[in-house]
A = this chain, B = another copy of it.
Amino acid sequence: MTRSSVNPALTALGYAPEDRVVIFHADDLGMTEATVSAYSELEGRSALTSVSVMLPCAWAPAAAQVVRARPGADVGVHLTLTSEWDACRWAPLSGPEPDLVDAEGYFHRRNEEARQAAPAAVARELRAQLERALAWGLDVTHLDTHMGAAAWPPFLPDLVALAAEYGVPPLYLRHGAAGWEALGFGPEEAQQAAQLGQALEARGFPLVDHLRMLPLDVGGDHAALTLELARELPPGITHFILHPASDTPELRAVARDWPARVANFEAFRSPELRGELEALGIRLSGYRPLRDLFRRRLRERAGSGQG
């Protein structure tokens, strides 16, 4: 599903073409207190190498506080256009824009509704989220999208422009059309997504080769599962998603999938996991080297007048 050529970002960072580089990435930081306490425990002492923050959520201030206390830690903005639960919800930072909210005043619950919004309203909101993270003193390393809602063809031109403006790479897959179709895109959208990837790479955007995720539908031993997924990884850069959270009454009250989130957390709490991954030959990385590479490429192009 990935294009057969070697990812130029892989070699630019000094890796060999056969190296398997993995970004172990915690989504949803700030959604609940349970995400903040879990991240605080994992960051710097586990296989976790990156995280992204949901700025519209109530616990974003606590999330920012723990990230700022770890200078050099990776931190992305988890661009958010949906508020999917019932008990605890969140709304746009840019105000009660009718396109972005449901009848209750929060972001829509599902991508289907969120993706009906006018691209200009989405662009304003995504900019507000990134700019708030920067205003709060976060050294933002990347952008990714909550439930993939913002990773939608009509929204991508503005998202890409925002990423280039601030020199913050978006999570973007180095997939051919077949790879995008396998992710649920229709044939035409898959073709567009693949073409956009090629255009981005030509402009110096670092892309990732593979996407993996620990399941959200089952609990159990996710450390064994992580090792199994890692063992089978092909060469290239993998963005590996987990949703770690502490087992608390708050988490259980908001998220039906709490057993999986707790299992994600328990797997990465294991003191052995990092060594076991490294023993498999996995090279752990965050987005910071990719972000710095992106900024060098943007400067080179600006210098050469390619804009």
- Complexed CA–CA distance, A59 and B105 (Å): 13
CB pair B249–A104 under 8 Å, yes or no, is no
Q: Name the one of B61, B88, B103, B104 contacting A86, with C-beta atoms under 8 angstroms.
A: B61
Q: Contacts of A32 on B, CB cut-off 8 Å? A: 250
Q: State how many residues of chain A have any CB contact under 8 Å with chain B.
A: 35
Residue A94 at the chain B interface, CB threshold 8 Å:
yes
Contact with B along A137-161 (1 / 0, CB 8 A): 0000000000000000000000000
Contacts of A87 in B (CB 8 A): 33, 36, 59, 61-62, 65
Is B104 in contact with A88, judged by CB distance below 8 angstroms? Answer: no
| Chain B residue with the shortest CB-CB distance to A57 | B58
Report Cα–Cα, A36/B249, bound state, in Å: 11
A78 close to chain B: CB less than 8 A: no
Knowing A253-B36, A253-B37, the reply to whether A58 touches B94 (Cβ < 8 A) is no
CB distance from A23 to the nearest CB of B (A): 27
Count chain B CB atoms within 10 A of each CB in A93, A136, A249 and give the residue with the most. A249
CA distance A305 to B89 in the complex (A): 45
Q: Does A299 contact B (CB under 8 A)?
A: no
CA distance A220 to B91 in the complex (A): 38
A63 closest partner in B (C-beta): B87
**Which of chain B's residues has its CB closest to A30's CB?**
B88
Within 8 A of B (CB), among A208-264: 246, 248-250, 253-254
Choose one: B33, B60, B90, B93; the contact of A253 (CB below 8 Å).
Answer: B33
Decide yes or no whether A96 CB sits under 8 A from chain B: yes
Q: How long is the Cα–Cα vector from A58 to B60 in the complex, in angstroms?
A: 12
Residues 45-70 (chain A) with a chain B CB within 8 angstroms: 57-62, 65
Q: A87-B33, A96-B95 are in contact. Are A61 and B248 (CB under 8 A)?
A: no
Which 10 A-B pairs give the minimum distances between C-beta atoms?
Answer: A95-B95, A62-B87, A58-B58, A250-B250, A33-B250, A58-B88, A248-B249, A33-B253, A61-B89, A59-B88
